[in-house]
Chains A and B, each alone.
Chain A
């Protein structure tokens, strides 16, 4: 549930950066409307899961999907910071994933709840809280590392 144009642009950029680097993208949303408004929807071949509750892990094939992809680090973007993002982060964290959240790519139910959730996630994993700019650089560095012999 992105709110405000200020989150659209970095979100769209994060999405295109990941796609350009062939880093898998997984969409978690109840319905297709959420990612409408030009922010970008799942393309053919990309995974779309529909969590029946708040955490993207609960009642979805996300764990299986991540195991298949051999993913160890999750970059979270979207909304709502203090609800779906926070509880997905907690499940990922408790399942031993390294987690990063792109704080300018998400919005909360209130500015206070957004900030509190970011602090809570940073408490769990130091360095979890990132800006999209630092994540673009990290994603590119990862891809360079991966493709060098």
Chain B
């Protein structure tokens, strides 16, 4: 195991995949070809788009391996009535339904056989059909990519963890609101499920080892 997974918290075997996996593509929206980093606000973390640009490779491997792919898309109504407390903090108005940048990134477009869930909160579990899909798919292990590491990924992870799912976070395919918040969230998730972090090339290698269903 010379290609052991190196993570922010040490050497892990996080790419191993016990249980039936499904991929969660969390909020990979808008333009992932150019930098989104706003130097003035220091938001989101530098090179954010470079992390997102590794996501298509994971999706392609999952598709080739026959794994279900579930896309989460954060949306909000242009009237802003569905933001709840989301505008009381650091984040500004985002993901309006009528904005072109709210669309899922062209590089990771869902296909008809994929699952596409729109959500109005951070967690993919909050008032969505995700659990119905996961139960129907028999999925027990969730492979997470997307953003923000410290918000939608972290809080989806926490909900998944508390509901008994095994979680894998592809740490070079998730990016945060800041580098510090990204790293803290990776550590918090690794605290909940030690060994949950993996890198995309190791995960792709593991997916290739899964016997194809049917």
A: residues with CB less than 8 A from B are 53-55, 58, 82-83, 86-87, 90, 93-99, 109, 112-113, 116-117, 119-120, 122-126, 128
Q: Do residues B162 and A55 form an inter-chain contact, with CB atoms below 8 A? A: yes
Chosen A-B contacts, 17 in total, with CB atoms closer than 8 Å, are A58-B162, A82-B188, A94-B155, A96-B84, A98-B88, A99-B85, A113-B184, A116-B184, A116-B185, A116-B188, A120-B150, A120-B154, A123-B91, A124-B88, A124-B90, A125-B85, A125-B88
Stretch at the interface among B30-38, B58-66, B69-77, B120-128: B120-128
Across-interface contacts of B155 in A (CB, < 8 A): 87, 90, 94
Quick one: which of B147-180 are within 8 Å of A by CB?
A: 150-151, 154-155, 158, 161-162, 177, 180
When the two chains form the complex, which single residue of B89, B91, B126, B162 contacts A94, counting CB atoms closer than 8 Å? B126
Instruction: Using CB atoms, name the residue of chain B closest to A96.
Output: B84
Q: How many residues on chain B are close to A (CB under 8 Å)? A: 27
CB-CB contacts of B175-214 with A at 8 A, as 1s and 0s?
Answer: 0010011001101100110000000000000000000000
The answer to whether B122 and A90 have CB atoms under 8 Å apart is: yes
Residues of chain B within 8 A (CB-CB) of A90 are 122-123, 155, 158
Whether B158 and A54, one on each chain, are in contact in the complex, defined by CB atoms closer than 8 angstroms, is yes
Question: Is the beta-carbon distance between A109 and B162 smaller than 8 angstroms?
Answer: no
Q: Which residues of B contact A112 (CB under 8 A)?
A: 184, 187
Alpha-carbon distance between A95 and B120 when the two chains are bound, in angstroms: 11
CA distance A117 to B191 in the complex (A): 13
Query: Bound state CA distance, A97 and B181, in angstroms?
Result: 23
What distance in Å separates the Cβ of A117 from its nearest Cβ neighbour in chain B?
7
A54 contact set on B, CB distance < 8 A: 158, 161-162
How many angstroms from the CA of A93 to the CA of B89 in the assembled complex? 11
Nearest residue (CB) in A for B183 is: A116
- The answer to whether A113 and B191 have CB atoms under 8 Å apart is yes
Bound CA–CA A116/B177 (angstroms): 13
Given contacts A90-B158, A94-B123, whether A113 and B85 have CB atoms under 8 Å apart is: no
- Asked whether, in the complex, the Cβ of A113 is within 8 Å of the Cβ of B188, the reply is yes
Bound together, the chains give a CA A126 to CA B182 distance in angstroms of 19
Cα–Cα, bound, A104→B38 (Å): 33
A98 touches B85 (CB 8 A): yes
CB contacts (< 8 Å) of A86 on chain B: these are 188
Which listed residue, B85, B126, B184, B192, touches A120 by the CB 8 Å rule?
A: B184
- Contact of A53 with B187 at beta-carbon distance under 8 Å, contacts A98-B85, A123-B181, A124-B85 already known: no
Q: Chain A residue with minimal CB distance to B154? A: A120
* Residues of the A chain whose Cβ atoms lie less than 8 Å from the Cβ of B158: 54-55, 87, 90
How far is B180's CA from A128's CA once the two chains are assembled, in angstroms?
A: 19
In whole angstroms, what is the CA distance A58 to B160 when docked?
A: 12
Min Cβ gap A13→B in Å is: 27
A55 to B188, CA, bound (A): 15
Complex contact A125–B188 (CB within 8 A): no
Enumerate chain A residues within 8 angstroms of B86, measured Cβ to Cβ.
124
Additional pairs, 11, CB under 8 Å, beyond known A87-B155, A97-B85, A125-B89? A86-B188, A94-B84, A94-B122, A109-B191, A116-B184, A116-B187, A116-B188, A120-B150, A123-B89, A123-B177, A125-B88
Residues of A within 8 A of B188 (CB): 82, 86, 113, 116-117
Q: How far does the alpha carbon of A87 sit from the alpha carbon of B160 in the complex, in Å?
A: 12
Query: Which residue in chain B gives the minimum CB-CB distance to A52?
Result: B162
